[in-house]
Every structure is written in structure tokens, then in C-alpha cells.
Amino acid sequence: MKIIMLGAPGAGKGTQSERIGAKYGLPQISTGDIFRANLSAGTELGMKAKTYMDAGELVPDELTCDLVVDRISKDDCANGYILDGFPRTLAQADLLTKVLAESGDKVDFAVNVDVPDENIIARMSGRRVCGKCGKPYHIVNMPPKVEGICDNCGGELIQRKDDLAETVKNRLTVYHDQTQPLIDYYDAKGCLVTVDGTKDIDEVFADIIAALEA
């Protein structure tokens, strides 16, 4: 099963894709996590991506597409995967369609986690992520068992620089301009599933599973 996650920054894509991945035994591939890991490791890709990420802009397609195509060709992707944060532009979506079509394949579900802008800023200000494994938490909605420490791996929880309110506003603008059109793109392909992302985390997950298994 090949799933892509659509939704505004902070809609809950990472939270839900982790659960979907655990349920079906599929790898969760987050382009944001890959860029952040490269940044921490000081790679050339990380350095190039940093300016865009800090400003809340998209990393250019030419830096993003190759790494995704490479990642989904790995053995652990043979039974499918969840793409969290890719595609984010029509060019990326077209590329994915093309690459999959080369092996007679396609995206099975595009899960759109729908959350209005007014909910996003509050959500983002409380987001903390594991500096080691990337797992997202929220200081109120989804606190870790031990404050400041990742339940998964014991890593330290940090606040992302691009989660500060000013940058979040720009990321929302970028989302509406460049990523939102993908909702129509996948709707036209007949694989769009939209869920109400303002419900609590368990309910959103249940709605997604119900749609995937309908």
C-alpha cells in the first residue's frame, strides 16, 4: 500500500503516519525528517536545505525529488510506504506519478488531514519533536511520559526553529499556494481521502483506518 499524507504544516501528518506505519508495518518516510537529519549531520544537502527551511519556504524540487526516488527504491519499501511531507508541489506529484507508472504502479491513497489555519498556530507553538528520531509531541495534547524526553528513544525533545509563529505564517502561505492544489490533483485520480484533523488524535486515526479499509 502506497500512501501519501497531505495537509497544512502541523495538521498531524507526522503523528498519523507514524501510527499508520506501525499498524501496517510500512516505513514512514518524512522528507522534513530527512532534511533535518542531514542538517544535524552537516551534509551538503543539509546546508543547502537549511536556508529554505528556516524561512519556511520549500526546498527546491531538484534537491527533494532525487532523494525521495532513491529512498522509495530501497528494499523496505517493496510492500509500500507512507510519504509524509512529499509531494508538496505539482511538479513533485507529477514526478511521483511518473516514477510509479514506470513499474505499473500508483499512489493508493492520498490522506488529506484537514485543519483550518486558525487551529494551526496554537498547535505549532506547543509542538516539540525528538532531536534524535523526529517523533512529534505536544506539550498539552500529546505530552511525553517524562517531560522533555522521547518515549521512543530517550532523545531530548526540542522546539523546531521553524515552528515560531512568524515562520509558521509563511509556511501556511506556502502551503496554500503550492501544496493545497494537490488535493484536487489526487481527487481527480480518485484516491483522495479527507479526514477532519481537528478531532483528537485517536479519532483522526480511527477515521483514517476506516477510510483505508472501506
Residue ranges in contact with ligand ADP by CB under 6 A: 7, 9-15, 31-32, 35, 52-53, 56-59, 64, 85-86, 88, 92, 123, 126-127, 136-138, 141-142, 162, 171, 197, 200-201, 204
To ligand ADP, the closest distance from the beta carbon of 61 in angstroms equals: 7
The string of DSSP codes covering 64-78 is HHHHHHHHTTSGGGT
Residues whose CB is less than 8 angstroms from the CB of residue 53 and which lie 6 or more positions away in sequence, other chains included: 32, 35, 36, 39, 59, 162
Quote the least distance from Cβ 9 to ligand ADP, whole Å: 4
The amino acid that residue 15 corresponds to is: T
Residue nearest to ligand ADP (CB): 32
Contact region for Zn ion (CB under 5 A) — 18-26, 83-91, 129-137, 205-213? 129-137
Between 47 and 153, CB nearer to Zn ion: 153
Q: Using CA atoms in the order 92, 98, 104, 108, what is the torsion angle rounded to 10 degrees?
A: 20
- Assign 192 to helix, strand or coil: strand
Q: How many residues bind Zn ion (CB under 5 A)?
A: 8
Please identify, using beta-carbon distances, which residue of 162 and 193 lies nearer to ligand ADP.
162
Beta strands in the chain (DSSP E): 2-6, 28-30, 81-84, 109-114, 127-130, 136-138, 157-158, 192-196
CB of 8 to ligand ADP, least distance (A): 7
> Does residue 37 touch Zn ion according to CB under 5 A?
no
Single-letter amino acid code for the residue at 149: I
Residues 140-159 that bind Zn ion (CB under 5 A): 150, 152-153, 155
Nearer to ligand ADP among residue 104 and residue 116 (C-beta): 116
C-alpha cell, 203: 479519532
- Rounded CA gap, 18 and 140, in Å? 19
Residue tagged active-site, from 2, 36, 123, 127: 127
Task: Report the alpha-carbon distance of residue 29 to residue 119 in Å, rounded.
Answer: 25
The residue annotated as part of the active site, out of 36, 88, 123, 135, is: 88
- Which residues are catalytically annotated? 13, 88, 127, 160, 171
Q: What residue ranges bind Zn ion (CB under 5 A)?
A: 130, 132-133, 135, 150, 152-153, 155
